[in-house]
A and B are shown apart, each in its own frame.
Chain A
Amino acid sequence: MESLDREVEDSMLFYEKRANGLAVRLTGELDHSAARDLGSRLDALIDETGAKRLMMDLSGVDFMDSSGIGLVIGRYKRLKRRGGGVTLTGTNARVDRIFDMAGVYQLVDRGERRRG
């Protein structure tokens, strides 16, 4: 991500506070093991920044199972209570297929998808 207000790099999570919310980029394998940590770290970031909208860029995710659904819906419910929501970008066809099964796109906004 360019021109970061604030950037923390580690194995899975890059984030940036923007005027319209909290932008995060997830990388690596989004399974139950990863989602456990990511969920609580995202919640802490949401609370810390007071963001109402979470923009999740999944373009760096190279594996995802149903744990990804829980991760997104968990954050959606949290932000919904504050009158906000989630926007998903950078999803590939496989990730979209899993989110579609669970009706995720009926709840969260869909931004740009991954090319190719």
Chain B
Amino acid sequence: MEFVNEMRLRFKALAENEAFARLAISGFLLPLDPTLEALADVKTAVSEAVTNAVVHAYPEAPGEIDMRAGYAADGTIEIDVIDRGRGIEDVEKARQPFFTTADGDERSGMGFTVMESFMDRVSVRSAPGKGTAVRLYKRIAPRDEAVPRRA
């Protein structure tokens, strides 16, 4: 895709950076004049991907997360969230609703399902021991082009 704007960020895989990642992507997308709804969709999906890297990728000590984003002239955006952590054994299985490897009741296994629901497309590449790359796609219509939502 031909991007008209791009950004890259690298930050430590810490819970306190989840809010930072949401703020950063919101700020980056502002020139597209997105609706609040569209922005909230993207923030939610980014939060899921970054949280997964924080929670699952680095069981020993927090490594780094790379977030890259770009958008094309038509408002199509692509966001990559990349870690170099433990990776996912079976990506298809991991994407199933309610699948989680976390113990306890605090994780529901719905992160990938939420990403898929709020974005147009989600692709996941992962290799055990090497890391995980999640790519989120969405076309953001500018506010004046947005279809009015049903009441």
B-contacting residues of A (Cβ < 8 Å)? Answer: 29, 31-33, 35-36, 39, 63, 65-67, 69-71, 73-74, 77-78, 94, 97-98, 101-102
Task: Classify the interface of chain B: helix, strand, loop or mixed.
Answer: helix
14 contacts between A and B (CB under 8 A): A29-B19, A29-B22, A31-B47, A35-B106, A65-B48, A66-B108, A69-B108, A70-B106, A73-B105, A74-B105, A94-B40, A98-B114, A102-B97, A102-B110
Contact with B48, one of A66, A97, A102 (Cβ below 8 angstroms): A66
Question: Interface readout for B29-61 with A: 1 if CB under 8 Å, 0 if not?
Answer: 000000000001001100110010011000000
Q: Which of B50-89 contact A (CB under 8 A)?
A: 51, 54-55
**In the complex, which of the residues A29, A32, A33, A78 has the most CB atoms of chain B within 10 Å of its own CB atom?**
A32
B106 touches A65 (CB 8 A): no
A65 touches B113 (CB 8 A): no
Complexed CA–CA distance, A102 and B99 (Å):
11
Query: Once A and B bind, how many residue pairs between them come within 8 Å at the CB atom?
Result: 71
In the bound complex, residues from chain A placing their C-beta under 8 Å from that of B16 are 33
Sample of 5 more A-B contacts, CB < 8 Å, known A32-B51, A36-B15? A67-B107, A69-B110, A70-B107, A98-B114, A101-B113
In the bound complex, residues from chain B placing their C-beta under 8 Å from that of A94 are 40, 44
Q: Which of B1-45 contact A (CB under 8 A)?
A: 15-16, 18-19, 22, 40, 43-44
A-contacting residues of B (Cβ < 8 Å)? Answer: 15-16, 18-19, 22, 40, 43-44, 47-48, 51, 54-55, 97-98, 104-108, 110-111, 113-114, 117
Task: Classify the interface of chain A: helix, strand, loop or mixed.
Answer: helix
B105 touches A70 (CB 8 A): yes
In the bound complex, residues from chain A placing their C-beta under 8 Å from that of B105 are 70, 73-74, 77-78
Complexed CA–CA distance, A77 and B107 (Å):
13
B18 touches A32 (CB 8 A): yes
Quick one: closest A residue to B105, CB to CB? A74
